[in-house]
Structure 1
Amino acid sequence: MKIHANQRPFQIAERNVGSLSSLALLRWALVVVFLWFGAMKFTAYEANGIAPFIINSPIMSWLHSLFGVQGASYVIGVLELSTAAALIIGAVQPVFSALGAAMSAATYLITLTFFFSTPGVAEATAGGFPAISAIPGQFLLKDLVLLAASISLLLASVQTSRPDARKS
């Protein structure tokens, strides 16, 4: 992608399709989710609640080995609160619009892998996969919608290189 001198590679997502677009709703909904979930990671209740997901994850299990159950939860909490901060700053700073959306998308890509690594997702009494349990199966499946919201915000935050593709 070639960037011209008067063109920036990033923009505030909402400005790509209108100042009061539905992307603003996605941004602020994601902010609420990351603030709430991030803050909860500093409680023993949440640390123990996410432990089965972390310990069974080939991507994240090292966190428990390195930091313990509560320490891993702290690390994830800091990352989630950092994602919320980037999304908030992204409402006024274009590069943070893309950064926050990318961090959010990465979060949900990782949590969707729990769908395959966490025991109990498939519901045996209903015939197994594709039947999924309420917890953890349906709990994890909602991250598909959060991933779509994150990707929508990210795509709107990355400016195209074609001048005719830009909206006024």
Structure 2
Amino acid sequence: MTTRANQFRLQIAEKSVGSLSLQALLRWALVVIFLWFGGMKFTAYEANGIAPFIANSPIMSWLHALFGVQGTSYVIGVLELSTAAALILGAFQPIFSALGAAMSAATYLITLTFFLTTPGVAEATAGGFPAISAMPGQFLLKDLVLLAASLSLLLASVQGSWPNAQKS
């Protein structure tokens, strides 16, 4: 008899695959990005820079009404720094390996929705979509790679649990 708790055994992503260095490279690159971008959210420059993305997002626009432009940036900064902390701890604790990767994946899933909601993504002078503007189109498109890195870490963190989940 298998309990639900035994079905989901988490592990540190770098320990789940043959190449420690490739998963570690993804983890630490994401840590740098979340530390840097998270820290920038505490500046007026960054708050104003992300404001159009937030304002046009059906998922996140309510944050501006609740916290204002700078307050929203602070909230996002705290979430991004928390994601960095979870990714760092995830190099040592399996639960944080999965949590940090999931938080990172959620971040990039949300930012990729901006691709659909932010005006100016399609480049009108080049005929419109699929031609995308440098800003904000190409700026947002890079998040596809960051999502893939996040999902790679997440899958490596829970990869060992899937065969156990099938044994019930």
Q: Normalization by structure 1: what TM-score? A: 0.92
Which whole-Å CA distance do the structure 2 matches of 1:34 and 1:9 have between them? 26
Contact between 2:8 and 2:162, CA under 8 Å: does it hold in 1?
Answer: no
CA shift, 1:3, in A, is: 5.9
* Offset from partner CA, 1:62-105 (integer Å, 9 cap, x none): 00000000000000000000000000000000000000000000
Pair 119,162 (structure 1): closer, same or farther in 2 beyond 3 Å: same
**3-state secondary structure, aligned to 1:87:** helix
Pairs within 5 Å for 1:12-161: 12-18=12-18, 20-158=20-158, 159-161=160-162
Contact between 2:8 and 2:161, CA under 8 Å: does it hold in 1?
Answer: no
Which whole-Å CA distance do the structure 1 matches of 2:163 and 2:86 have between them? 27
CA shift, 1:20, in A, is: 2.5
* Offset from partner CA, 1:109-168 (integer Å, 9 cap, x none): 0000000000000000000000000000000000000000000000000033427xxxxx
Instruction: Tell me which residue corresponds to 1:166.
Output: none
Which whole-Å CA distance do the structure 1 matches of 2:162 and 2:31 have between them? 28
Structure number with the higher helix fraction is 2
AA partner of residue 77 (structure 2): G
Aligned length: 162
Which whole-Å CA distance do the structure 1 matches of 2:108 and 2:88 have between them? 18
Q: Which moved more, 1:5-14 or 1:50-59?
A: 5-14
Runs of 5+ consecutive residues of structure 1 not aligned to the other structure: 164-168
Pair 138,5 (structure 1): closer, same or farther in 2 beyond 3 Å: closer
Identity of aligned residues (%): 83
Contact between 1:3 and 1:9, CA under 8 Å: does it hold in 2?
Answer: no
Q: Normalization by structure 2: what TM-score? A: 0.92
Contact between 1:11 and 1:97, CA under 8 Å: does it hold in 2?
Answer: yes
Which whole-Å CA distance do the structure 1 matches of 2:6 and 2:149 have between them? 29
CA shift, 1:9, in A, is: 1.2
